[in-house]
Amino acid sequence: MQAAQPVHGRYYTSTVRESEVLKSILGRSPSDDPRVLIGPGDDLACVRVSPPESPEVGPPLLVGADQVIDGLHVRADLIPWDLIGRKAVCRALSDVAAMAGRPVATIATALLPADAEAHAVEKLCTGLFEAAALVHAPLVGGDVAIHRTDSGPLSISVTVLATPSEQQSGGQSVRRDGARVGDRLVVTGPLGGAVGADGFGHHLTFTPRLSEAVMLRAILGVDLHAMIDLSDGLGRDAGRIAAASGVHMMLDAMQVPCRTGVSWEQAVGDGEDYELLLAVGPEANLPEALGGSAESCHLHVIGEVVEASADTPLVGVRTLDGEVRDVSAMGWDHG
């Protein structure tokens, strides 16, 4: 088995695929611990903050983790390390946005190359701490270690803690599995080309859509059926909502918002956009944009949820000439 990715300038082959490992993890029996409200499989898990013997007493907490790895998500030889730290934090917090959560704190572990320079490490820490503080998710702890081998690459793991957006109403988070036939599919911004040929670009400078997610949750209420953040590519990430919800999706190539100079195929497959994809009930009154600032977020209806059938792909795109292309596998194999 092989996986090849033209990401960040390097190809690789490996004996296992990330998606296969995840499938094996999700195939395990779920925990029978009553404190686990949402287990592995969504953007974040949800647990009650309670000691083992009194599982009912505590409030719900959203928690999840993500990694940024040299050669996979960044090129550590090209990119200033404060931007790498920033990306590690923002990437993990994008999962909080995906569930319309409110950040509580972040934890980070870093594994440094043996030849890391002190000033680069200092910048990495600055990037981590400042990005976390900026979105009200203070970095409160973690660990640092240094590779014992010459060629071990930089990697950073960030865990995020958040509260569900509506703690009073029982801690309902926006999950992946609520999309229904007839829902409109909506994205919060232009897609594609997030990683430039020089390794720089949107993937290093984006701000996770935390406040937009909370606004959408407040405006749309129960009509916000499902949500995910677009990290691995629209095709693959839309497929995750579709699979979790037991539906198919049909997108319109002409409606997919593309970053300047980017084709719809790139917009669907490039990944690293960190915009939100929503499934919204047909009755809901959808605003055109959120916020009034220069950074206001435009909402784009790009397709709809259709019935699962053998005649349609999990995620299809209808092109200008009326053909339907299967894009379910377009994007990363779990970045």
Site for a copy of itself in 92-121 (CB under 8 A): 102-105, 107-109, 111-112, 114-118, 121
Handedness of CA 187, 301, 298, 325 (dihedral sign): positive
> In whole angstroms, how close is the CB of 69 to a copy of itself at the nearest point?
6
The answer to whether 75 touches 199, Cβ cutoff 8 Å, is yes
What is the C-alpha to C-alpha distance for residues 63 and 43, in angstroms, rounded to an integer?
A: 9
Is 177 a binding residue for a copy of itself by CB under 8 A? The answer is no
Q: What is the contact mask toward a copy of itself in residues 63 to 92, using x (rule: CB under 8 A)? A: xxxxx-x-xx--------------------
Is 294 a binding residue for a copy of itself by CB under 8 A? The answer is no
* Residue of 56, 151, 197, 283 that binds a copy of itself (CB under 8 A): 151
Within 218-257, the residues that bind a copy of itself by CB under 8 A are none
Within 298-327, the residues that bind a copy of itself by CB under 8 A are none
* Residue of 80, 123, 147, 262 that binds a copy of itself (CB under 8 A): 147
* Residue of 182, 256, 285, 334 that binds a copy of itself (CB under 8 A): 334
Please, what is the Cα angle at 11 between 319 and 93, to 5 degrees?
Answer: 70
70 DSSP assignment? B
CB burial of 254-265 (b: ≥16 within 10 Å; e: otherwise) equals eebbbbeebebb
> In whole angstroms, how close is the CB of 325 to a copy of itself at the nearest point?
28
> In whole angstroms, how close is the CB of 194 to a copy of itself at the nearest point?
18
81, containing H or E segment: helix 81-98
64 three-class SS: strand
Is 44 a binding residue for a copy of itself by CB under 8 A? The answer is yes
What is the C-alpha to C-alpha distance for residues 268 and 313, in angstroms, rounded to an integer?
A: 15
